Amino acid sequence: MLHAVIMAGGAGTRFWPESRAALPKQLLDLLGGRTMIQATFDRLAGLVPRERVSIITADVLVDAVAAQLPQLPAGAVVGEPCKRDTAPCIGLAAHLVSRDDPDAVMAVLPADHVIGPTEKFQAAMRHAVALVEESPGRIVTFGIRPTYPAESFGYIERAEPLAASGIPSYRVARFREKPRAEVAAEYVATGRFYWNSGIFVWRAATILAALAEHQPQMAAHLETIASAFGRDDFAEVFAAEFAAIRGVSIDYAVMEHARDVAVVEAPYEWDDVGSWQALARLRGADAEGNTVSARHVGLDTHGCIIRGTPDHLVATLGIDDCIIVQTPDATLVAHRSREESLRELVKLIQHRGWGQHL
């Protein structure tokens, strides 16, 4: 049976000051209507029943996630006691879904992507499941055809095509890490490379075997955690064993070593919503090039992203290419070209001892 695992433990630092430790990006309504994690869950309706959906998040976010998704059964939201990257997260989830379904097929999805239309996403997922069933040890990932030479994404180089189907699918030649601009341009020019979406489909047993082969120490800690499921001392075992794991991404831990990997060319629209710049792409801009989600009035204001609370007026005069985000206790004013430095700014706030704003 198909199970879905939503990874929702990110901090969302690049969306400060709206994204905070207690309410990170995936729990925000950035585009109107639903939060990002709610939209991810909604996308699974009709594909995976809610009793086979699990969410792995940070321990401090369990209650907030559960409150946003009351449809989920008790125990579906699992909180990691500390942050250890995606490989331990996925390994933990594989053990969870294997408890009652040893032959489980897992779809692994980040909580903070914008994808549509849902029909094309679900068709691609069903196709990926068929590829896994065709070759039980196969790992399937989804590639996004690049629209520009991005330096912030990993890349997948495709090899020969798999059997003909309605959705183009290929064997994976290799994975490439985030490249320099000139290298990214070379990748895009070849037509053989995709952006790595970080969405996967595989059998739970396949990923557990891969972790045991390539990350034996991590696998041993995860096995100890799994053996404690249901015991009175589970919380203590979970905290101690998970903290002992060396954090590593699933790409480093497994994907770069796997032998039977396929990439499905995503037929849907995709955006990883990695920073405030995404709002301009997804919400569009007015005649002055501004993307506004606020009570705003401006003169000679061009190319800005402006976001604020409905009861607070943001007035701008004579500024171009800025990001302005107003919240009740903190306001960001930044040039769009400096957005990559937002993490440094957050670290400076922490260094000043102003953690109440984080």
Q: How far out from the chain centre does Cα 358 lie?
A: 21
Instruction: Tell me which residue of 22, 107, 108, 105 sits closest to 59, measured CA to CA.
Output: 22
What is residue 355's predicted lDDT score, i.e. its pLDDT? Answer: 94
CA–CA separation, 124 and 127 (whole Å):
5
What is residue 160's predicted lDDT score, i.e. its pLDDT? Answer: 95
Instruction: Tell me which residue of 47, 26, 53 sits closest to 38, measured CA to CA.
Output: 26
What is residue 85's predicted lDDT score, i.e. its pLDDT? Answer: 94
Instruction: Tell me which residue of 80, 127, 78 sits closest to 107, measured CA to CA.
Output: 127
Q: What is the mean pLDDT of each run of 10 residues along the chain (358 residues)?
A: 95 93 94 93 97 97 97 95 96 95 97 96 97 94 95 94 85 93 94 96 98 97 96 95 96 92 97 93 95 97 97 97 97 94 95 96
What is residue 8's predicted lDDT score, i.e. its pLDDT? Answer: 96
What is residue 164's predicted lDDT score, i.e. its pLDDT? Answer: 65
Say if CB 159 and CB 171 are below 8 A apart: yes
Three-class DSSP category at 108: strand
CA–CA separation, 201 and 204 (whole Å):
9
Q: Distance of CA 168 to CAs 27, 64, 142, 143, Å? A: 33, 39, 11, 10
What is residue 10's predicted lDDT score, i.e. its pLDDT? Answer: 84
The model's pTM is 0.94
Two tokens, residue 262: 């396929």
Query: For every residue of 11-77, which 3-state class applies, written as one string?
Result: CCHHHCCCCECCECHHHCCCCCCCCHHHHHHHCCCCCCCHHHEEEEEEHHHHHHHHHHCCCCCCCCE
